[in-house]
Amino acid sequence: MDDLALSVRLARPSDAADLARIYIESWQDTYAGLIPHNLLGSMSLKNHTARWQTAMRGPGAVLVAEDPHHGAVGLASLGAARDGALGFDGEIYTLYVDPAFLGRGTGRVLMAGAFERLKDRRCRSCIVWSHARNNACFFYEAMGGRRVAERITRTMGEATPEIAFGWKRLVTRKQDRAVRS
């Protein structure tokens, strides 16, 4: 496999269809057997493209990870924490990597980009909610996240267990490079 030359930038409206494709393929790859098959099968590129266009116009931010040879390979969305009671001011709402590019650094680059964007918004801490049986739980722990809460939500009427991972201090690539110098 070739090395990726990843960069992260704010998503543009023209990225919406790529983001929708990554989102749908990630859900179908990650959640097969965890959430109802009829939900995964009913995911529409048209509907999710519109959803990402709306998200880009919202108060948060949508990031895209791209490689010059492969185009968009991952996405993240972020903004203010939706549950301030947990003591975190920022939240990464979504982080998805094209299944064909898992394990190649895309998630790490997106997390670093999201932390930088949250710090630009004056956030000092961050939370991410994940399906409790999602393999991303291991990734969030490897990235320094601590399990800070659990909850049960509903997906098409079915109970869905989730775990929150929190970072009380956001370390960005800029700070990491300064510490190493």
Q: Within a 13 Å sphere around the CA of 168, how many CA atoms are in the beta-carbon half?
A: 4
pLDDT tens for 128-173 read: 999 998 889 999 999 999 999 999 998 767 788 999 999 999 987 6
pLDDT for the residue 102 = 92
pTM: 0.89
Q: In the chain, what are the domains?
A: 7-180 (3.40.630.30)
Q: How buried is 115 (Cβ within 10 angstroms: 0-12 exposed, 13-18 middle, 19+ buried)?
A: buried
As a residue count, the chain comes to 181
Q: How confident is the model at residue 2 (pLDDT cuts 50, 70, 90)?
A: low
Cα separation, 106 vs 136, whole angstroms: 13
pLDDT for the residue 36 = 74
For the chain, strand residue ranges (E) read 7-10, 61-67, 71-80, 90-97, 126-131, 146-155, 158-167
What is the average per-residue pLDDT within 52-74? 95
Place of tokens 């709306």: 54
Model confidence at 58: pLDDT above 60: yes
Cα–Cα distance list, 100 to 22, 139, 145, 157, 165 (Å)? 10, 17, 25, 30, 25
Mean pLDDT score across all residues of the chain: 89
Model confidence at 127: pLDDT above 90: yes
Model confidence at 175: pLDDT above 60: no
Least confident of 13-22, 48-57, 170-179: 170-179
